[in-house]
Chain A
Protein backbone atom coordinates (compact mmCIF):
# COMPACT_ATOMS: atom_id res chain seq x y z
CA UNK A 1 0.00 0.00 0.00
CA UNK A 2 1.59 3.26 -1.07
CA UNK A 3 1.34 6.62 0.67
CA UNK A 4 -0.92 7.89 -2.11
CA UNK A 5 -3.47 5.14 -1.61
CA UNK A 6 -3.54 5.87 2.13
CA UNK A 7 -4.15 9.50 1.20
CA UNK A 8 -6.97 8.43 -1.15
CA UNK A 9 -8.66 6.34 1.52
CA UNK A 10 -8.41 9.19 4.02
CA UNK A 11 -9.84 11.61 1.45
CA UNK A 12 -12.78 9.31 0.65
CA UNK A 13 -13.55 8.83 4.35
CA UNK A 14 -13.43 12.59 4.87
CA UNK A 15 -15.66 13.30 1.85
CA UNK A 16 -18.25 10.77 3.00
CA UNK A 17 -18.14 12.03 6.60
CA UNK A 18 -18.57 15.68 5.63
CA UNK A 19 -21.27 14.75 3.11
CA UNK A 20 -23.16 12.73 5.72
CA UNK A 21 -22.78 15.58 8.23
CA UNK A 22 -24.21 18.11 5.80
CA UNK A 23 -27.21 15.82 5.23
CA UNK A 24 -27.73 15.00 8.90
CA UNK A 25 -27.07 18.38 10.58
CA UNK A 26 -30.04 19.81 12.42
CA UNK A 27 -29.23 23.42 11.61
CA UNK A 28 -29.41 24.55 7.99
CA UNK A 29 -26.49 26.99 8.46
CA UNK A 30 -24.08 24.26 9.61
CA UNK A 31 -25.30 22.00 6.80
CA UNK A 32 -24.44 24.63 4.17
CA UNK A 33 -20.99 25.23 5.68
CA UNK A 34 -20.51 21.46 5.54
CA UNK A 35 -21.53 21.50 1.89
CA UNK A 36 -18.91 24.14 1.02
CA UNK A 37 -16.20 22.09 2.73
CA UNK A 38 -17.49 19.03 0.90
CA UNK A 39 -17.17 20.84 -2.46
CA UNK A 40 -13.54 21.75 -1.75
CA UNK A 41 -12.68 18.19 -0.66
CA UNK A 42 -14.37 16.84 -3.76
CA UNK A 43 -12.22 19.05 -5.97
CA UNK A 44 -9.14 17.36 -4.46
CA UNK A 45 -10.71 14.03 -5.45
CA UNK A 46 -11.03 15.37 -9.01
CA UNK A 47 -7.32 16.21 -9.04
CA UNK A 48 -6.63 12.60 -8.01
CA UNK A 49 -8.74 11.48 -10.98
CA UNK A 50 -6.44 13.55 -13.28
CA UNK A 51 -9.26 15.96 -14.10
CA UNK A 52 -7.81 19.32 -13.10
CA UNK A 53 -10.30 21.25 -15.26
CA UNK A 54 -13.18 19.61 -13.41
CA UNK A 55 -11.47 20.24 -10.06
CA UNK A 56 -11.29 23.97 -10.80
CA UNK A 57 -14.95 24.06 -11.85
CA UNK A 58 -16.08 22.07 -8.81
CA UNK A 59 -14.18 24.31 -6.39
CA UNK A 60 -15.43 27.51 -8.02
CA UNK A 61 -19.02 26.63 -8.84
CA UNK A 62 -19.87 23.48 -6.87
CA UNK A 63 -18.38 24.74 -3.61
CA UNK A 64 -18.11 28.51 -3.87
CA UNK A 65 -21.05 29.79 -5.91
CA UNK A 66 -23.61 27.20 -4.77
CA UNK A 67 -22.47 27.67 -1.18
CA UNK A 68 -22.94 31.43 -1.43
CA UNK A 69 -26.44 31.02 -2.90
CA UNK A 70 -27.43 28.62 -0.12
CA UNK A 71 -25.98 30.82 2.65
CA UNK A 72 -28.04 33.72 1.31
CA UNK A 73 -31.15 31.54 1.34
CA UNK A 74 -30.45 30.33 4.91
CA UNK A 75 -30.17 33.93 6.09
CA UNK A 76 -33.58 34.74 4.61
CA UNK A 77 -35.23 31.54 5.79
CA UNK A 78 -34.01 31.93 9.38
CA UNK A 79 -37.22 33.40 10.69
CA UNK A 80 -39.56 31.44 8.46
CA UNK A 81 -42.20 29.26 10.02
CA UNK A 82 -40.69 25.84 9.54
CA UNK A 83 -42.07 22.38 9.75
CA UNK A 84 -40.55 20.90 12.88
CA UNK A 85 -42.01 17.45 12.42
CA UNK A 86 -39.16 15.31 11.21
CA UNK A 87 -39.82 12.27 9.13
CA UNK A 88 -40.83 9.33 11.33
CA UNK A 89 -38.36 6.58 12.15
CA UNK A 90 -39.94 3.76 10.08
CA UNK A 91 -40.00 5.98 7.00
CA UNK A 92 -36.39 7.00 7.55
CA UNK A 93 -35.41 3.37 8.02
CA UNK A 94 -37.18 2.30 4.84
CA UNK A 95 -35.66 5.20 2.91
CA UNK A 96 -32.23 4.32 4.30
CA UNK A 97 -32.52 0.69 3.17
CA UNK A 98 -33.72 1.63 -0.31
CA UNK A 99 -31.00 4.28 -0.74
CA UNK A 100 -28.38 1.77 0.43
CA UNK A 101 -29.69 -0.60 -2.25
CA UNK A 102 -29.32 2.07 -4.92
CA UNK A 103 -25.78 2.80 -3.72
CA UNK A 104 -24.96 -0.90 -3.68
CA UNK A 105 -26.24 -1.30 -7.24
CA UNK A 106 -24.01 1.56 -8.39
CA UNK A 107 -21.08 0.11 -6.46
CA UNK A 108 -21.52 -3.23 -8.25
CA UNK A 109 -21.54 -1.38 -11.56
CA UNK A 110 -18.31 0.39 -10.55
CA UNK A 111 -16.66 -2.84 -9.41
CA UNK A 112 -17.42 -4.72 -12.62
CA UNK A 113 -15.99 -2.70 -15.49
CA UNK A 114 -16.65 -3.91 -19.05
CA UNK A 115 -14.04 -6.07 -20.76
CA UNK A 116 -13.30 -3.48 -23.40
CA UNK A 117 -13.45 -0.05 -21.78
CA UNK A 118 -15.11 2.36 -24.20
CA UNK A 119 -13.14 5.52 -24.81
CA UNK A 120 -13.59 8.53 -27.03
CA UNK A 121 -10.17 9.92 -26.18
CA UNK A 122 -8.45 8.89 -29.46
CA UNK A 123 -11.23 10.53 -31.51
CA UNK A 124 -11.06 13.70 -29.42
CA UNK A 125 -7.26 13.78 -29.68
CA UNK A 126 -7.39 13.23 -33.45
CA UNK A 127 -9.12 16.57 -33.95
CA UNK A 128 -6.98 18.43 -31.43
CA UNK A 129 -3.93 19.36 -33.59
CA UNK A 130 -6.12 21.00 -36.26
CA UNK A 131 -7.68 23.29 -33.68
CA UNK A 132 -4.31 24.47 -32.36
CA UNK A 133 -5.42 23.83 -28.77
CA UNK A 134 -3.24 22.02 -26.25
CA UNK A 135 -5.81 21.27 -23.57
CA UNK A 136 -7.83 18.18 -24.58
CA UNK A 137 -10.80 19.22 -22.42
CA UNK A 138 -10.99 22.61 -24.14
CA UNK A 139 -10.73 20.71 -27.42
CA UNK A 140 -13.78 18.63 -26.52
CA UNK A 141 -15.70 21.68 -25.27
CA UNK A 142 -15.08 23.84 -28.32
CA UNK A 143 -14.40 21.43 -31.20
CA UNK A 144 -15.60 17.89 -30.61
CA UNK A 145 -18.77 18.68 -28.62
CA UNK A 146 -19.16 22.39 -29.31
CA UNK A 147 -22.95 22.09 -29.61
CA UNK A 148 -23.19 20.95 -25.95
CA UNK A 149 -21.20 23.96 -24.84
CA UNK A 150 -23.38 26.33 -26.86
CA UNK A 151 -26.61 24.84 -25.51
CA UNK A 152 -25.28 24.94 -21.96
CA UNK A 153 -24.82 28.70 -22.26
CA UNK A 154 -28.40 28.94 -23.45
CA UNK A 155 -29.48 26.89 -20.40
CA UNK A 156 -27.69 29.38 -18.17
CA UNK A 157 -29.65 32.25 -19.73
CA UNK A 158 -32.93 30.31 -19.56
CA UNK A 159 -32.34 29.63 -15.85
CA UNK A 160 -31.68 33.34 -15.33
CA UNK A 161 -34.94 34.18 -17.11
CA UNK A 162 -36.67 31.65 -14.86
CA UNK A 163 -35.23 33.26 -11.74
CA UNK A 164 -36.18 36.74 -12.95
CA UNK A 165 -39.73 35.73 -13.79
CA UNK A 166 -40.27 34.63 -10.18
CA UNK A 167 -40.43 38.29 -9.20
CA UNK A 168 -43.88 39.87 -8.74
CA UNK A 169 -45.14 41.67 -11.85
CA UNK A 170 -44.54 45.18 -10.55
CA UNK A 171 -40.87 44.39 -9.87
CA UNK A 172 -40.10 43.32 -13.45
CA UNK A 173 -37.05 45.12 -14.73
CA UNK A 174 -36.12 46.16 -11.19
CA UNK A 175 -33.01 45.67 -9.10
CA UNK A 176 -32.02 42.18 -7.86
CA UNK A 177 -32.45 41.64 -4.12
CA UNK A 178 -28.80 41.02 -3.37
CA UNK A 179 -28.05 41.89 0.24
CA UNK A 180 -25.69 44.84 0.40
CA UNK A 181 -23.57 45.58 3.46
CA UNK A 182 -22.56 49.10 2.65
CA UNK A 183 -20.67 50.45 5.63
CA UNK A 184 -18.15 53.02 4.41
CA UNK A 185 -14.50 52.33 5.31
CA UNK A 186 -15.19 48.91 6.73
CA UNK A 187 -12.83 45.98 6.27
CA UNK A 188 -15.13 44.61 3.59
CA UNK A 189 -14.69 47.81 1.59
CA UNK A 190 -10.95 47.36 1.83
CA UNK A 191 -11.16 43.80 0.55
CA UNK A 192 -13.51 44.84 -2.25
CA UNK A 193 -11.04 47.52 -3.33
CA UNK A 194 -7.94 45.35 -3.12
CA UNK A 195 -9.09 41.98 -4.44
CA UNK A 196 -10.93 42.70 -7.74
CA UNK A 197 -7.86 43.92 -9.70
CA UNK A 198 -6.06 40.70 -8.73
CA UNK A 199 -9.19 38.66 -9.42
CA UNK A 200 -9.65 40.15 -12.88
CA UNK A 201 -6.05 39.33 -13.77
CA UNK A 202 -6.59 35.77 -12.51
CA UNK A 203 -9.79 35.47 -14.59
CA UNK A 204 -8.05 36.72 -17.75
CA UNK A 205 -5.15 34.34 -17.09
CA UNK A 206 -7.50 31.37 -16.60
CA UNK A 207 -9.38 32.17 -19.80
CA UNK A 208 -6.17 32.60 -21.80
CA UNK A 209 -4.30 29.59 -20.43
CA UNK A 210 -7.40 27.40 -20.92
CA UNK A 211 -6.42 26.82 -24.55
CA UNK A 212 -3.42 24.73 -23.63
CA UNK A 213 -3.58 23.98 -19.91
CA UNK A 214 -6.38 23.43 -17.37
CA UNK A 215 -8.62 26.47 -17.08
CA UNK A 216 -10.99 28.16 -19.46
CA UNK A 217 -14.12 30.22 -19.89
CA UNK A 218 -16.13 28.59 -17.08
CA UNK A 219 -13.49 28.97 -14.41
CA UNK A 220 -12.49 32.47 -15.50
CA UNK A 221 -16.13 33.52 -15.70
CA UNK A 222 -16.78 32.28 -12.17
CA UNK A 223 -13.87 34.30 -10.80
CA UNK A 224 -15.20 37.38 -12.62
CA UNK A 225 -18.67 36.79 -11.17
CA UNK A 226 -17.22 36.43 -7.66
CA UNK A 227 -15.33 39.72 -7.99
CA UNK A 228 -18.44 41.50 -9.30
CA UNK A 229 -20.53 40.14 -6.42
CA UNK A 230 -17.89 41.19 -3.88
CA UNK A 231 -17.87 44.74 -5.19
CA UNK A 232 -21.68 44.89 -5.18
CA UNK A 233 -22.03 43.39 -1.69
CA UNK A 234 -19.51 45.90 -0.30
CA UNK A 235 -21.65 48.64 -1.82
CA UNK A 236 -18.90 50.04 -4.04
CA UNK A 237 -21.08 49.75 -7.13
CA UNK A 238 -24.84 49.67 -7.11
CA UNK A 239 -26.65 46.50 -8.16
CA UNK A 240 -27.82 47.21 -11.74
CA UNK A 241 -31.48 46.88 -12.60
CA UNK A 242 -32.13 43.95 -14.92
CA UNK A 243 -33.63 46.15 -17.62
CA UNK A 244 -30.26 47.79 -18.34
CA UNK A 245 -29.37 47.41 -22.00
CA UNK A 246 -25.60 46.87 -21.43
CA UNK A 247 -26.35 44.09 -18.98
CA UNK A 248 -28.56 42.21 -21.40
CA UNK A 249 -26.08 42.74 -24.25
CA UNK A 250 -23.24 41.29 -22.16
CA UNK A 251 -25.46 38.35 -21.21
CA UNK A 252 -26.17 37.32 -24.79
CA UNK A 253 -22.83 38.41 -26.31
CA UNK A 254 -21.07 35.09 -25.66
CA UNK A 255 -23.74 32.74 -27.03
CA UNK A 256 -24.45 35.11 -29.97
CA UNK A 257 -20.80 35.27 -31.06
CA UNK A 258 -20.54 31.50 -30.62
CA UNK A 259 -23.66 31.01 -32.74
CA UNK A 260 -22.50 33.50 -35.38
CA UNK A 261 -19.16 31.71 -35.76
CA UNK A 262 -21.03 28.40 -35.85
CA UNK A 263 -23.29 29.57 -38.67
CA UNK A 264 -20.33 31.09 -40.50
CA UNK A 265 -18.79 27.61 -40.27
CA UNK A 266 -21.69 26.27 -42.34
CA UNK A 267 -20.62 28.52 -45.21
CA UNK A 268 -16.83 28.47 -44.76
CA UNK A 269 -16.19 24.96 -43.44
CA UNK A 270 -19.27 23.05 -44.59
CA UNK A 271 -20.58 22.19 -41.12
CA UNK A 272 -22.38 23.94 -38.27
CA UNK A 273 -19.89 24.94 -35.55
CA UNK A 274 -16.92 23.91 -37.71
CA UNK A 275 -13.97 26.29 -37.92
CA UNK A 276 -12.28 27.19 -41.22
CA UNK A 277 -8.83 25.59 -41.50
CA UNK A 278 -6.06 27.75 -40.03
CA UNK A 279 -8.43 30.08 -38.18
CA UNK A 280 -9.59 27.62 -35.52
CA UNK A 281 -7.51 28.85 -32.61
CA UNK A 282 -8.13 32.61 -32.96
CA UNK A 283 -11.85 31.94 -33.39
CA UNK A 284 -11.98 29.66 -30.35
CA UNK A 285 -10.10 32.21 -28.24
CA UNK A 286 -12.53 34.92 -29.39
CA UNK A 287 -15.47 32.72 -28.41
CA UNK A 288 -13.86 31.95 -25.06
CA UNK A 289 -13.31 35.63 -24.26
CA UNK A 290 -16.92 36.51 -25.07
CA UNK A 291 -18.19 33.49 -23.16
CA UNK A 292 -16.08 34.38 -20.09
CA UNK A 293 -17.78 37.78 -19.94
CA UNK A 294 -21.25 36.35 -20.48
CA UNK A 295 -20.75 33.55 -17.94
CA UNK A 296 -19.46 36.06 -15.41
CA UNK A 297 -22.53 38.26 -15.80
CA UNK A 298 -24.96 35.31 -15.88
CA UNK A 299 -23.51 33.65 -12.76
CA UNK A 300 -23.39 36.95 -10.89
CA UNK A 301 -27.03 37.68 -11.70
CA UNK A 302 -28.13 34.14 -10.84
CA UNK A 303 -26.50 34.57 -7.45
CA UNK A 304 -28.07 38.03 -7.03
CA UNK A 305 -31.57 36.58 -7.39
CA UNK A 306 -34.86 37.92 -8.76
CA UNK A 307 -35.53 41.68 -8.81
CA UNK A 308 -36.99 42.99 -5.56
CA UNK A 309 -36.87 46.76 -5.89
CA UNK A 310 -37.90 49.12 -8.63
CA UNK A 311 -35.49 51.82 -9.65
CA UNK A 312 -36.56 55.24 -8.51
CA UNK A 313 -36.94 57.61 -11.44
Chain B
Protein backbone atom coordinates (compact mmCIF):
# COMPACT_ATOMS: atom_id res chain seq x y z
CA UNK B 1 0.00 0.00 0.00
CA UNK B 2 1.50 3.35 -0.91
CA UNK B 3 1.30 6.58 1.09
CA UNK B 4 -1.51 8.06 -1.02
CA UNK B 5 -3.81 5.07 -0.44
CA UNK B 6 -3.04 5.11 3.29
CA UNK B 7 -4.03 8.77 3.62
CA UNK B 8 -7.07 8.09 1.43
CA UNK B 9 -8.24 5.43 3.89
CA UNK B 10 -7.55 7.88 6.72
CA UNK B 11 -9.77 10.43 4.94
CA UNK B 12 -12.54 7.84 4.53
CA UNK B 13 -12.37 6.97 8.25
CA UNK B 14 -12.46 10.67 9.16
CA UNK B 15 -15.61 11.14 7.08
CA UNK B 16 -17.28 8.30 8.99
CA UNK B 17 -16.07 9.68 12.31
CA UNK B 18 -17.25 13.21 11.55
CA UNK B 19 -20.63 11.94 10.38
CA UNK B 20 -21.04 9.95 13.60
CA UNK B 21 -20.25 13.00 15.72
CA UNK B 22 -22.61 15.12 13.65
CA UNK B 23 -25.51 12.69 14.13
CA UNK B 24 -25.05 11.68 17.77
CA UNK B 25 -23.84 14.81 19.55
CA UNK B 26 -26.69 16.99 20.79
CA UNK B 27 -24.72 20.23 21.25
CA UNK B 28 -24.60 22.47 18.15
CA UNK B 29 -20.98 23.53 18.79
CA UNK B 30 -19.88 19.89 18.84
CA UNK B 31 -21.89 19.31 15.66
CA UNK B 32 -19.98 22.16 13.99
CA UNK B 33 -16.70 20.62 15.12
CA UNK B 34 -17.75 17.21 13.80
CA UNK B 35 -18.77 18.78 10.51
CA UNK B 36 -15.32 20.34 10.17
CA UNK B 37 -13.79 16.92 10.81
CA UNK B 38 -16.01 15.42 8.12
CA UNK B 39 -15.02 18.18 5.72
CA UNK B 40 -11.30 17.73 6.31
CA UNK B 41 -11.73 14.00 5.64
CA UNK B 42 -13.28 14.82 2.26
CA UNK B 43 -10.42 17.25 1.53
CA UNK B 44 -7.92 14.52 2.36
CA UNK B 45 -9.56 12.14 -0.13
CA UNK B 46 -9.37 14.96 -2.66
CA UNK B 47 -5.68 15.41 -1.87
CA UNK B 48 -5.13 11.72 -2.55
CA UNK B 49 -6.79 12.12 -5.95
CA UNK B 50 -4.38 15.02 -6.57
CA UNK B 51 -1.37 13.00 -5.45
CA UNK B 52 -2.25 10.08 -7.72
CA UNK B 53 -2.69 12.37 -10.70
CA UNK B 54 0.86 13.65 -10.39
CA UNK B 55 2.09 14.57 -13.87
CA UNK B 56 4.42 16.98 -15.64
CA UNK B 57 7.08 16.50 -12.98
CA UNK B 58 4.87 17.78 -10.14
CA UNK B 59 4.26 16.18 -6.74
CA UNK B 60 0.52 16.31 -7.37
CA UNK B 61 -2.16 17.70 -9.65
CA UNK B 62 -2.34 21.41 -8.74
CA UNK B 63 -6.02 21.77 -9.73
CA UNK B 64 -7.53 19.69 -6.88
CA UNK B 65 -4.94 21.21 -4.50
CA UNK B 66 -6.04 24.73 -5.38
CA UNK B 67 -9.68 23.67 -4.96
CA UNK B 68 -8.93 22.30 -1.50
CA UNK B 69 -7.36 25.65 -0.51
CA UNK B 70 -10.52 27.41 -1.68
CA UNK B 71 -12.63 24.84 0.15
CA UNK B 72 -10.76 25.30 3.45
CA UNK B 73 -11.39 29.05 3.33
CA UNK B 74 -15.08 28.60 2.47
CA UNK B 75 -15.43 26.01 5.26
CA UNK B 76 -13.99 28.55 7.67
CA UNK B 77 -16.50 31.17 6.51
CA UNK B 78 -19.36 28.71 7.01
CA UNK B 79 -18.03 27.75 10.46
CA UNK B 80 -17.84 31.38 11.52
CA UNK B 81 -21.44 31.88 10.37
CA UNK B 82 -22.61 28.74 12.21
CA UNK B 83 -20.88 29.74 15.45
CA UNK B 84 -22.42 33.20 15.24
CA UNK B 85 -25.84 31.51 14.91
CA UNK B 86 -25.20 29.35 18.00
CA UNK B 87 -24.13 32.37 20.03
CA UNK B 88 -27.23 34.28 18.89
CA UNK B 89 -29.33 31.31 19.99
CA UNK B 90 -27.68 31.58 23.40
CA UNK B 91 -28.42 35.30 23.53
CA UNK B 92 -32.07 34.78 22.67
CA UNK B 93 -32.91 31.67 24.70
CA UNK B 94 -30.10 31.26 27.24
CA UNK B 95 -29.50 27.70 26.13
CA UNK B 96 -26.86 26.11 23.98
CA UNK B 97 -28.96 23.33 22.45
CA UNK B 98 -31.91 23.11 20.15
CA UNK B 99 -34.57 21.85 22.52
CA UNK B 100 -36.51 19.35 20.47
CA UNK B 101 -36.98 16.64 23.08
CA UNK B 102 -39.81 16.70 25.62
CA UNK B 103 -37.77 17.13 28.80
CA UNK B 104 -36.29 20.37 27.54
CA UNK B 105 -39.72 21.56 26.35
CA UNK B 106 -41.31 21.03 29.78
CA UNK B 107 -38.31 22.74 31.32
CA UNK B 108 -39.01 25.90 29.30
CA UNK B 109 -42.71 25.70 30.12
CA UNK B 110 -41.88 25.46 33.81
CA UNK B 111 -39.64 28.49 33.59
CA UNK B 112 -42.35 30.55 31.86
CA UNK B 113 -45.15 29.89 34.36
Bound form: Cα–Cα A305–B83 in Å: 9
Interface residues of B in 19-39 (CB under 8 A from A): 19-21, 23-27, 29-30, 32-34, 36-37
Query: Which residues of the other chain, B, contact A81 by a CB distance below 8 angstroms?
Result: 94-96
- B73 lies within 8 A of A218 (CB): yes
- A45 lies within 8 A of B69 (CB): no
Dominant SS among interface residues on chain B: helix
- B86 lies within 8 A of A73 (CB): yes
- A70 lies within 8 A of B32 (CB): yes
- Out of B7, B23, B81, which one reaches A8, CB within 8 Å? B7
Residue of B nearest to A152 (CB): B70
How many interface residues does B have (CB within 8 Å)?
A: 81
Bound form: Cα–Cα A48–B4 in Å: 9
- Out of B23, B65, B83, which one reaches A54, CB within 8 Å? B65
- Out of A48, A53, A54, A139, which one reaches B7, CB within 8 Å? A48
Tell yes or no: A119 within 8 A of B by CB: yes
Bound form: Cα–Cα A303–B24 in Å: 27
Q: With A23-B18, A35-B36, A87-B24 known to touch, is A218 a contact of B29 (CB < 8 Å)?
A: no
Interface, chain A (partner B; CB < 8 A): 4-5, 8-9, 12, 15-16, 19-20, 22-24, 28, 31-32, 35, 38-39, 42, 45-46, 48-51, 53-54, 57-58, 61-62, 65-66, 69-70, 72-74, 76-77, 80-83, 85-87, 91-92, 95-96, 98-100, 102-104, 106-107, 109-111, 113, 117-122, 124-125, 136-137, 139-141, 144-145, 148-149, 152, 155-156, 158-160, 162-163, 166, 218, 295, 299, 302-303, 305-306
Interface, chain B (partner A; CB < 8 A): 3-21, 23-27, 29-30, 32-34, 36-37, 40, 43-45, 47-48, 50-56, 58-63, 65-70, 72-81, 83-88, 90, 94-97, 99, 101, 103-104
